[in-house]
């Protein structure tokens, strides 16, 4: 009998694990006619139109679907308009890593972006901001030289023009194919933030699903205010690596937004619909007395 | 000390030398170059991370702060030192001693020797990502000359967290990379047994990184590896540290910080 329960427990764990893992890569399955879609978390068929109106959040279970960087900026900026910056920065293959550029091309075709970060100047309820977003559809939003350079230029742009800075992170971390150059982007972006901060300017970091590795361990953790979007996975090391290292199961809500809030590393958790109004308020708090 | 055969070494041969179980660790380096070292403990927030040794010593009569990752040189020590893998409190301890050095205008020497920051539950709970990020920004603004030395293994963010300095040296057979060759092989080739191929593709040797201008100096080793004769290498390191600190100490604070910023600002390869 004991044996039965043990076996059942293992099966349940496997099941839970599968469900949890699914959540990490939660995405929508499109039905060909484009009218309905299936939410991977609640398995309900929902109207595509309703999901769009609901800022790409499942109206049934509040699951936040992954969204592209460009859509993110549209959702945040007044009139869905922004002026894109540093649009010509392109990835090269510094280590001459086999098939790297082919892979980049494939993602460029799929996403119509040059790389995984979109930088812009826009306004949120009339307040001018430097704003950028990582695109998890582009090679898991990984940071190589091009992404690091664009993030750094956006930070420097914000410092130069005395603008508040908002960066939406969605990334698996540093990009392996550029090796040490990717690693150094962590130092580069973190360094640029020091000057932005030194100029007494506001930086709001929004950690969305997922924010891990070298991005979590650099600019994404360094906001004056760190906001986690609902459902975000946030952490340094990957769960598989940790499990292998400690050889035991991980706590239930490990590396969730709630976990990071409880441990003191994010200031608040917000649903997608609350992001713009709350960020707008925070911006206004920091605008008083500043021209 | 140099001979032709060394140039023919494969990256993987250097990985093996870097991880050789007789290779000197930070403690031996400190004993040799800084015999008057006094170790000081604790991050004043949570605990004392044994994977990181901090303290004060003199270099040619001038006080310096030393912050070193220590792997341990026997099984017992390795367990105590967590194989040189710091927890967040390790980086916060490093930061505390770096800021102390700034206050007293002491140069800082960082010895990097870690497979990486520890990937564990406690480390995540206490904010490994945040600790590393904060450490890097703090290094960028610390107004005292700083030199980082990769002794054996420079593993990813866990190494870079104490690697944002005015100068970065690497021992000849040390490695410095975004991930271990095994981890890299398992992610990109889906086969961790291809680690030796990964080591080649990753460009993680001192020679590669010198070419890429990621590091500033290579500290030469005995042709059979540092463990066969370290006194010459450590003497050379001491001389190099003294020379560079003499140059860096002459810079005013703003120039020092601006130069440090520019050094990292210019890293990365892209087109536009």
Residue pLDDT tens, chain B, 272 long: 444 455 668 999 999 999 999 999 999 999 999 999 999 999 999 999 999 999 999 999 999 999 999 999 999 999 999 999 999 999 999 999 999 999 999 999 999 999 999 999 999 999 999 999 999 999 999 999 999 999 999 999 999 999 999 999 999 999 999 999 998 998 889 888 899 999 999 999 999 999 999 999 999 999 999 999 999 999 999 999 999 999 999 999 999 999 999 999 999 999 99
The reported pLDDT for the residue numbered A290 is 47
Residue B3 lies in a domain: no
In the DSSP assignment, the letter for residue A249 is P
Residue A28 pLDDT exceeds 70:
no
Nearest CA-CA partner of B165 in B270, B244, B53, B75: B244
Based on the fold, state whether residues A244 and A171 are members of the same structural domain: yes
Cβ of B76 under 8 Å from any chain A Cβ? Answer: no
Question: Which pLDDT score is estimated for A20?
Answer: 56
**Do B245 and B237 form a contact (C-beta atoms < 8 A)?**
no
Q: Does B257 touch chain A (CB under 8 A)?
A: no
Rounded to the nearest 10 degrees, the angle between the axes of helix A69-76 and helix A272-285 is 60
What pLDDT band is residue A25 in, cutting at 50, 70 and 90? Answer: low
Quick check: is B2 in a domain? no
One domain, residues A25 and A86: no
Q: Is residue A96 part of a domain?
A: yes
Contact B27, B112 (CB under 8 A): no
pLDDT at A26 over 60: no
Q: What is the dihedral of CA A206, A209, A214, A217, to 10 degrees?
A: 50
Residues A25 and A165 in one domain: no
Residue A291 pLDDT level (bands cut at 50, 70, 90): very low
CATH number of B83's domain: 3.90.226.10
A60 and A72 within one domain? no
- Among B265, B238, B93, smallest CA distance to A191 is for B265
Q: Among A65, A90, A115, identify where a domain stops.
A: A65
Q: What are phi and psi of B155, to 5 degrees?
A: -95, 100
| Residue A17 within a domain | yes
B60 contacts chain A (CB < 8 A): no
Whether residue A61 is found in the same domain as residue A73:
no
B175-177/B146-155 β-pairing:
parallel
Query: What are A101-146's pLDDT values in tens digits?
Result: 999 999 999 999 999 999 999 999 999 999 999 999 999 999 999 9
Looking at the structure, tell me whether residues A111 and A238 fall in a common domain: yes
Q: Do the Cβ atoms of A176 and B268 come within 8 Å? A: no
pLDDT of residue B1: 40
pLDDT computed for residue A34 by the predictor: 75
Q: Which residues of A touch B272 (CB under 8 A)?
A: 86, 88-90
Report pLDDT digits (tens) over A209-259: 999 999 999 999 999 999 999 999 999 999 988 988 888 889 999 999 999
b/e sequence B200-222, b meaning 16+ C-beta within 10 Å: bbbbbbbbbbbebebbbbbbbbb
pLDDT score recorded for residue B15: 96
- Mutate which of A89, A90, A174, A176 to test chain B, going by most B C-beta atoms within 10 A? A176
A237 and A158 assigned to the same domain = yes
Domain count, chain A: 2
- Between CA B70 and CA B80 the distance in angstroms is 10
Percent with pLDDT over 70 in chain A: 88
A141, A41: one domain: no
B1 in a domain, yes or no? no
- Whether B44 and B246 have beta carbons less than 8 Å apart is answered as no
Please tell me the pTM assigned to this model.
Answer: 0.92
| Mean of pLDDT over chain A | 91
Where b means 16+ CB within 10 Å and e means fewer, A244-270 reads: eeeeeeeeeebbbbebbbeeebbbebb
Confirm or reject contact between B211 and chain A (CB < 8 A).
Answer: no
In a domain, B270, yes or no: no
**Which of B90, B92, B124 should be substituted to probe chain A, the one whose Cβ sees the most A Cβ atoms within 10 Å?**
B124
Q: Which of A65, A84, A110 is the last residue of a domain?
A: A65
Query: What pLDDT is stored for residue B193 in this prediction?
Result: 85
Name the residue range of residue A43's domain. Answer: 1-65
Count the domains in chain B: 1
- A89 and A8 both lie in a single domain: no
By residue range, what is the domain housing residue B88? 9-260
In a domain, B271, yes or no: no
Q: CA–CA separation, A180 vs B183, rounded Å?
A: 14
Q: Give yes or no: residues A174 and A266 share one domain.
A: yes
**A148/A56 same-domain check:** no
| C-alpha to C-alpha distance for A291 and A170, rounded to whole angstroms | 32
Same domain, A35 and A108: no
Within a domain: A291: no
Beta-carbon count within 10 A of A15 CB: 10
CB contact under 8 A, B269 and A179: no
Residue pair A162/A196 in contact by the 8 Å Cβ criterion: no
Residues 186-225 of A with CB under 8 A from B: 186-188, 190-195, 197-198, 212-214, 216-222
Which pLDDT does position A32 carry in this prediction?
59
Nearest to B268 among A188, A216, A255 (CB): A188
Q: Which of A39, A65, A91 is the last residue of a domain?
A: A65
């Amino acid at each position: 009998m004991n044996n039965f329960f043990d076996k059942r427990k293992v099966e349940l764990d496997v099941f839970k694990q599968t469900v949890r893992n699914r959540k990490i890569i939660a995405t929508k399955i499109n039905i060909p006619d484009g009218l309905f879609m299936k939410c991977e978390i609640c398995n309900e068929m929902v109207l595509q139109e309703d999901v769009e109106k609901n800022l790409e959040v499942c109206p049934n279970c509040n699951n936040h679907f992954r969204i592209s960087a460009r859509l993110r900026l549209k959702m945040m900026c007044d009139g869905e308009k922004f002026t894109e910056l540093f649009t010509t920065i392109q990835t090269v293959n510094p280590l001459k890593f086999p098939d790297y550029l082919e892979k980049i091309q494939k993602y460029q075709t799929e996403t119509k972006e040059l790389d995984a970060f979109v930088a812009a100047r826009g306004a949120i309820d009339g307040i001018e901001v430097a704003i950028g977003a990582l695109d998890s559809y582009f090679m898991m939003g990984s940071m190589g030289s091009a992404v690091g350079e664009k993030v750094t230029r956006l930070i420097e742009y914000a410092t130069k023009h005395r603008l508040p800075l908002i960066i939406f992170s969605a990334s698996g971390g540093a990009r392996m194919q550029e090796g040490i150059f990717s690693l150094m982007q962590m130092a580069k972006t973190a360094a640029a933030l020091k000057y932005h901060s030194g100029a007494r300017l506001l930086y709001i970091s929004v950690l969305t699903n997922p924010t891990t590795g070298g991005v979590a361990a650099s600019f994404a953790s360094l906001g004056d205010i760190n906001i986690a979007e609902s459902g975000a996975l946030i952490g340094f090391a990957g769960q598989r690596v940790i499990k292998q290292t400690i050889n035991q199961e991980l706590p239930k809500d490990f590396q969730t937004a709630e976990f990071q809030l409880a441990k003191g590393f994010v200031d608040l958790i917000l649903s997608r619909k609350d992001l713009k109004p709350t960020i707008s308020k925070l911006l206004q708090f920091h605008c008083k007395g500043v021209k | 000390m140099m001979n032709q055969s060394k140039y023919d070494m494969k990256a993987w041969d250097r990985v093996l030398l870097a991880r050789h179980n007789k290779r000197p660790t930070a403690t031996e380096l400190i004993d040799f170059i800084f015999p008057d070292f006094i170790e000081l403990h604790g991050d004043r927030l949570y605990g004392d991370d044994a994977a990181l040794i901090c303290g004060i010593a003199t270099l040619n009569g001038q006080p310096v702060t030393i912050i070193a990752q220590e792997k341990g040189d026997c099984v017992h020590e390795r367990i105590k030192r967590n194989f040189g893998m710091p927890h967040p409190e390790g980086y916060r301890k490093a930061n505390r001693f770096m800021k102390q050095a700034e206050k007293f205008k002491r140069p800082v020497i960082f010895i990097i020797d870690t497979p990486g920051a520890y990937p564990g539950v406690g480390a995540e709970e206490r904010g490994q990502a945040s600790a590393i990020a904060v450490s890097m920004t703090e290094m960028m603004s610390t107004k005292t000359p700083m030199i980082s030395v990769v002794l054996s293994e420079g593993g990813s963010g866990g190494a870079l967290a104490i690697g944002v300095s005015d100068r970065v040296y690497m021992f000849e057979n040390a490695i410095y990379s975004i991930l271990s060759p095994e981890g890299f092989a398992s992610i990109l080739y889906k086969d961790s047994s291809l680690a030796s191929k990964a080591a080649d593709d990753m460009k993680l040797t001192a020679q590669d990184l010198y070419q890429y201008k990621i590091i500033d100096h290579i500290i030469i080793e005995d042709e059979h590896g540092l463990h066969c004769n370290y006194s010459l290498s450590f003497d050379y390191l001491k001389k190099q540290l003294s020379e560079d600190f003499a140059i860096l100490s002459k810079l005013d604070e703003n120039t020092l910080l601006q130069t440090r910023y520019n050094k990292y600002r210019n890293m990365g390869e892209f087109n536009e």
